[in-house]
């Protein structure tokens, strides 16, 4: 028998033997996803013990570790009961940490219920005396899950939950270990001045919040410190973390703030779209075109079918105003 034919037979044999295993794995994953679904909240097992919850106002990430659960973003308050029910179907372990990638209501609205339903850090107590309450220098750990977010996001949302333990970080980020390294990165002055992404390092999954979505142009909030330049920096920083598998497909998975599960190629395409539109508007600004003239030129037209529910008008205005903003005193 020719060696070439022998190799072909061996390859076919291996494929036939492995195919049922792949089908079984896919079937098991689908079964887990279906069993955990509720009326509005649906589950996708991204990889390993990391899950993506869809339908609660934003995409929620759930990581099940050996001793506790980490949740990233909480969704809108009207879906909190369903979110909790879904998480409980995935694991009976306590929710120990609740990350918020931004201060937007659709990411933090469910904080109160998820925190109260969560488990406290080991040395938290159920209450403090009046003397202890007066001592501002005393480290107090309150019952319930611990919120993890950038300092600006913690400050904006601290009144939502009341007395709770919160870890606020800035450029230094934050790290914890829950069956794998979980790393929180600050994304400064992007969507807002309080954004972050969360990297589940061993599972190779990133929860990106509103730094990346597949359903709309960047939602930048200048009133909350967001900038177009910072948003592009954040996208580039995110891309630096991502590693593709074959032909720019697969590899590191990205859970966007809104939209479908993605990979590096999707984020690169999104970054390129933002860069091209900004470049077009910048050329128009150099030619002294007014905002009305820029909007009439439709710099987002070729992307409106994917991202432009409003025809790209809001994003165009944000980019235009940032490019024409007079610099402050040195």
Task: Summarize pLDDT for 196-224 with one digit per residue, the tens.
Answer: 999 999 999 999 999 999 999 999 999 99
Question: Is 215 among the domain residues?
Answer: yes
Tell me: the pLDDT tens digits for 127-160? 444 454 455 444 567 888 999 999 999 999 888 7
> What does the longest C-alpha to C-alpha distance in the chain come to?
88
Domain of residue 40: give its range: 30-266
pLDDT value at residue 168: 94
Question: Is 327 among the domain residues?
Answer: no
Task: Give the pairing type, strands 69-72 and 95-99.
Answer: parallel
Q: Taking residues 55-82, what's their average pLDDT?
A: 96
Tell me: the pLDDT tens digits for 34-61? 577 888 999 999 999 999 999 999 999 9
* Dihedral sign from CA coordinates of 157, 96, 164, 160: positive
The residues pairing with 176 across neighbouring beta strands, listed in sequence order, are 182
d(CA 48, CA 161): 31
pLDDT above 70 covers a percentage of the chain that reads 83
Ramachandran area for residue 17 (φ above 0: left; ψ -120 to 50: alpha; else beta): alpha
CATH number at residue 36: 3.60.15.10
pLDDT value at residue 123: 61
Buried b (16+ CB within 10 A) or exposed e, 193-222: bbbbbbbbeebbbbbbbbbbbbebbbbbbe
pLDDT value at residue 322: 96
Residue 86, Cβ neighbours under 10 Å: how many? 23
pLDDT value at residue 248: 80
d(CA 329, CA 287): 25
Question: Is 300 among the domain residues?
Answer: no
- What is the total count of domains within the chain? 1
Cα–Cα distances in Å, from 221 out to 148, 159, 201, 210, 299? 21, 21, 29, 11, 20
The residue behind tokens 């034919």 is 5
Tell me: the pLDDT tens digits for 267-278? 999 999 999 999
Complete edge-to-edge strand list for the sheet that includes strand 95-99 = 42-47, 50-54, 60-64, 69-72, 95-99, 146-150, 166-169
Tell me: the pLDDT tens digits for 236-266? 999 999 999 988 888 999 999 999 999 999 9
The residues pairing with 197 across neighbouring beta strands, listed in sequence order, are 185
- Residue 22, pLDDT above cutoff 80: no
Structure tokens at 193: 């001045």
pLDDT value at residue 23: 40
- Residue 8, pLDDT above cutoff 80: no
Question: Is 3 among the domain residues?
Answer: no
Question: Is 301 among the domain residues?
Answer: no
Complete edge-to-edge strand list for the sheet that includes strand 174-177 = 174-177, 181-187, 195-200, 205-209, 253-256
pLDDT above 90 covers a percentage of the chain that reads 72
d(CA 82, CA 113): 11
pLDDT value at residue 2: 47
* Dihedral sign from CA coordinates of 35, 40, 46, 48: negative
Helix axes 228-241, 264-286, angle to 10 degrees: 150
pLDDT value at residue 139: 53
Structure tokens at 152: 């600006």
Altogether, the residues listed in the chain come to a count of 330
- Residue 327, pLDDT above cutoff 70: no
Question: Is 130 among the domain residues?
Answer: yes
The residues pairing with 255 across neighbouring beta strands, listed in sequence order, are 207
pLDDT value at residue 137: 44
Question: Is 227 among the domain residues?
Answer: yes
């Amino acid at each position: 028998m020719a060696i070439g034919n022998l190799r072909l037979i061996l390859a076919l044999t291996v494929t036939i033997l492995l195919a049922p295993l792949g089908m079984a794995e896919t079937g098991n994953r689908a079964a887990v996803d279906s069993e955990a679904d509720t009326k509005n909240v649906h589950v996708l097992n991204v990889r390993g013990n990391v899950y993506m919850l869809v339908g609660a106002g934003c995409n929620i990430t759930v990581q099940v570790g050996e001793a506790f659960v980490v949740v990233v973003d909480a969704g809108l308050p009207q879906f909190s009961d369903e979110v909790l029910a879904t998480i409980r179907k995935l694991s009976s372990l306590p929710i120990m940490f609740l990350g918020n990638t931004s201060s937007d209501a659709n990411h933090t609205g469910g904080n109160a219920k998820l925190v109260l339903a969560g488990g406290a850090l080991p040395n938290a107590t159920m209450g403090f005396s009046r003397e202890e309450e007066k001592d501002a220098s005393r480290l107090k750990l309150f019952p319930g899950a611990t919120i993890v977010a950038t300092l600006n996001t913690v400050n904006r949302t601290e009144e939502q939950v009341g007395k709770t333990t919160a870890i606020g970080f800035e450029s230094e980020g934050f790290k914890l270990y829950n069956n794998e390294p979980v790393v929180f990165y600050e994304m400064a002055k992007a969507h807002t001045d309080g954004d972050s992404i969360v990297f589940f390092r061993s599972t190779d999954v990133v929860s990106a919040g509103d730094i990346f979505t597949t359903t709309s142009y960047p939602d930048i909030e200048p009133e909350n410190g967001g900038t177009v330049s910072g948003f592009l920096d954040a996208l580039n920083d995110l891309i630096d973390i991502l590693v593709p598998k074959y032909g720019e497909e697969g590899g590191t998975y990205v859970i966007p703030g809104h939209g479908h599960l993605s990979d590096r190629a999707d984020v690169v395409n999104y970054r390129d779209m933002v860069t091209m539109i900004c470049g077009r508007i910048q050329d128009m600004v150099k030619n002294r075109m007014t905002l009305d003239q820029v909007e009439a030129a439709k710099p987002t037209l070729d992307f409106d079918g994917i991202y432009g529910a409003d025809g790209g008008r809001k994003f165009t205005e944000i980019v235009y105003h940032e490019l024409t903003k007079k610099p402050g005193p040195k």
